[in-house]
Structure formats: C-alpha cells, structure tokens
Structure 1
Amino acid sequence: MSLLDLELISKALPQTWTSTVLGRVGNSNIKVLRMDEMSSAPEVHDYTEGLLVISGQLLLGVVGESISVGEGQIYLAEAGVAHAVLSGSHGTLVIIDI
C-alpha cells in the first residue's frame, strides 16, 4: 500500500483539468486533478463518474440545475447524463470512474 497526498499530487500536475490515474479498484480508475475557475463544455460518459471534492468547490450544471459540491462531498454523475463544470470551481478533485 502507498500513502498518497492528493493535494501535493494535484498541485504538481502541469495543467488544470488534466487528471492523472492514481490506481485502479476492480474496473474503476481513481484519478486526481486540480480545478481552476474555468468552465467546461458539457460531457457525457457511458459510465458513472464519482466526483469527490478534496478541497475547494466543484460547481456543476446538470440538466438545467446548478449543483455545488463542497469539501468532503461526492456527486455521482450518472452514465448517459450530460454534466458541465461551471465557472468558479477550484481546488482538488478526485474522479472515480465506476
């Protein structure tokens, strides 16, 4: 087993919104990335995506609704449902591809 400092790993990444895979559990990837204030276009996946905020805040647009995900909270973006990052998101995010 390894001890990982998610904040340090995310801060060392060369770009915001570019994740790195930390490992796998079964068929699920566990990734970390650094968020910035920029928004993103909606995206849809064929798998559920768990979005776990380690620090800061993730702001999402999902089916016309604005959702705020705070530190220690996880949002499950269901497979087939479009979701977009809204401006103002910042901090460290862990993504679990389920």
Structure 2
Amino acid sequence: MDSKLKLLVLDHQSHSDERHDHPEGLFVARGEINLVVDGTAIAIKKGGMFVVPAGALHSVESESSGTVVIFD
C-alpha cells in the first residue's frame, strides 16, 4: 500500500462524507476542526491527532477552520 500525505486548508468550510478501506490519520497543524466519525462529533485543536478507523464514515463540519495534515 502506498502512503500519501495531503494538506487540507479549511476556512469555515465543511468536507463531505467519505469512507476508506484503510485507516486515515489527521493532524491539526493550525486552528480547530470538528470531525464527525460514524455520527460522533469530535473537536480536534491545534497539535491534536486522530486516526479514523478503516471503514468509518467521516466528515468535517462547516465551522471548522484550520490546516490539517492527512496521512492516507
């Protein structure tokens, strides 16, 4: 499996639902995001990290503002 790094910059924007067959790591480098994983809301502030389990439905709510590094 090839690993990829992505940079997501949010300015009070949402990111629609998605689901992957592999885990996805999120590191908040700036700001704060409101992540929803399988219906549960999780606030992640600057310096925080979260790993979305494989197969979990996840999205970012619209009031999120920050920079997120995604380990895919």
Considering fraction of residues, name the structure with more helix: 1
Q: Which has the higher strand share?
A: 2
Q: Determine the structure 2 residue equivalent to 1:35.
A: 10
Normalising by structure 1, report the TM-score: 0.67
Equivalenced residue count is 72
| Distance in 1 between residues matched to 2:12 and 2:19, nearest whole Å | 21
| RMSD, aligned α-carbons | 1.5
Paired residue type of 1:49: E
Gaps of 5+ in 2: none
In structure 1, what is the equivalent of residue 23 of structure 2?
Answer: 48
Q: Which stretches of structure 1, 4 residues or more, deviate above 6 A after TM superposition? A: none
Residue number among 78, 84, 87 corresponding to 2:53 in the alignment: 78
Letter in 2 for 1:44: R
Rounded Cα–Cα distance in structure 2 between residues aligned with 1:94 and 1:41: 17
Q: Which segments of 5 or more consecutive residues in structure 1 lack a partner in the other structure?
A: 1-25
**Residue type of the partner of 1:41?**
S
Post-superposition shift, 1:36? 2.0
| TM-score, structure 2 as length reference | 0.88
Per the TM alignment, residue 41 of structure 1 is displaced from its structure 2 partner at its CA by 2.6
Q: Percent identity among equivalent residues? A: 40
Give matches, 1:63-74, under 5 Å: 63-74=38-49
Deviations 1:18-71 (Å, cap 9, x if unpaired)? xxxxxxxx8311121211212233110111110100000110111221100111
